[in-house]
Amino acid sequence: MKNFEYFKPSTLKEASELLIKKGANAHILNGGTDLIIRMKEGITSPDVVVDIKGIKELHNIKFDEKEGLFVGACVVLNDMAHNQIVKEKYKVLSNAAKSVGSGQIRNKATMTGNICNASPLADTSTPLLALDAKVLVYGPNGEREIPINELFVWVRKVSLEHGEIVKGVRIPAYENIIGDFQKISRRKEVDLSTVASTVVKINDEIRIALASVAPTPIRARKAESFIKGKKLTDEVIEEAAKIAASEASPIEDVRASKEYRIEMIKIAVKRNLNAVRS
């Protein structure tokens, strides 16, 4: 691994100023389960690493009936997945978080790192897309909110400016979420998704999100429109799954061929829709 300068600031202001001062090759370090691997493999070689784990406010997880759930950027996946409120009110997010890597990984990895890494297969991305989460950002020009669907720009590219730091993710408060997360992978545990999907039913609205099927995680909007106002019969589910698959543009890689992924999308979405129909 190439030598680098290491900083551990205790405020967002300090962290952002360091990133700006040290230039484009200064990287944010969170749990490090993506960044450190990339550094070891020489894929990413930062001159400067700014470790944000010393910033206390990023470790908060809180819920408010009006504002919804806030998960601070440095909350590790295991703490989020086993949080009582998350398990009760956002179970689909808890389930997605529990599917990431292994227990050891989840004790270090964060949801913010998962989405900022901008891998098309990020497991927490589909519940966040389906639940219309917002990403709260601190930066040199103040604070801003990015709707989660606007965070993902391309493979490994997010819509953050240099010097901007994600403070955490906010998920709206919903009366009742009926949701289902599906992950299809080569092994049951410690494997990356070949296809991942989340369907949530909020009142009568059904939302469908897919990962590992396109350059970024996506919402299957055409399938959502098709379902709107319809009863979830076997025929409707079959057709919706086909439409969702047609909205994807998967690639062939070490995990699966394009054709296999398309078939797996249909299966995952069918399982999701069967799980949420009452």
Ligand X SMILES: Cc1cc2nc3c(=O)[nH]c(=O)nc-3n(C[C@H](O)[C@H](O)[C@H](O)COP(=O)(O)OP(=O)(O)OC[C@H]3O[C@@H](n4cnc5c(N)ncnc54)[C@H](O)[C@@H]3O)c2cc1C
Residues in contact with ligand X by CB under 6 A are 27-35, 37, 52, 73, 100-101, 105, 108-110, 112-114, 116-117, 121-123, 160, 165-166, 190, 192
Comparing CB distances to ligand X, the nearer of 191 and 263 is 191
Work out whether strand 205-211 and strand 218-219 pair parallel, antiparallel, or are unpaired: antiparallel
Q: How many CB atoms lie within 10 A of CB 176?
A: 8
CA distances from 156 to 120, 198, 226 (A): 8, 21, 31
Give me the least distance between CB of 109 and ligand X, in Å please. Answer: 3
Strand partners for 207:
200
Q: How many CB atoms lie within 10 A of CB 59?
A: 16
**Contact criterion met (CB below 8 Å) for 213 and 195:** yes
Give me the least distance between CB of 113 and ligand X, in Å please. Answer: 2
Report the residue closest to ligand X, judged by CB. 113
Comparing CB distances to ligand X, the nearer of 34 and 224 is 34
Give me the least distance between CB of 132 and ligand X, in Å please. Answer: 20
Give me the least distance between CB of 173 and ligand X, in Å please. Answer: 23
Give me the least distance between CB of 32 and ligand X, in Å please. Answer: 5
Number of residues written out for the chain: 278
Comparing CB distances to ligand X, the nearer of 24 and 190 is 190
Comparing CB distances to ligand X, the nearer of 139 and 240 is 139
Interatomic CA distance for residues 39 and 6, integer angstroms: 13
Tokens in use for 237? 């589910």
Q: How many CB atoms lie within 10 A of CB 225?
A: 11
Comparing CB distances to ligand X, the nearer of 11 and 203 is 11
Interatomic CA distance for residues 109 and 65, integer angstroms: 27
Give me the least distance between CB of 235 and ligand X, in Å please. Answer: 33
Comparing CB distances to ligand X, the nearer of 181 and 237 is 181
Interatomic CA distance for residues 247 and 131, integer angstroms: 19
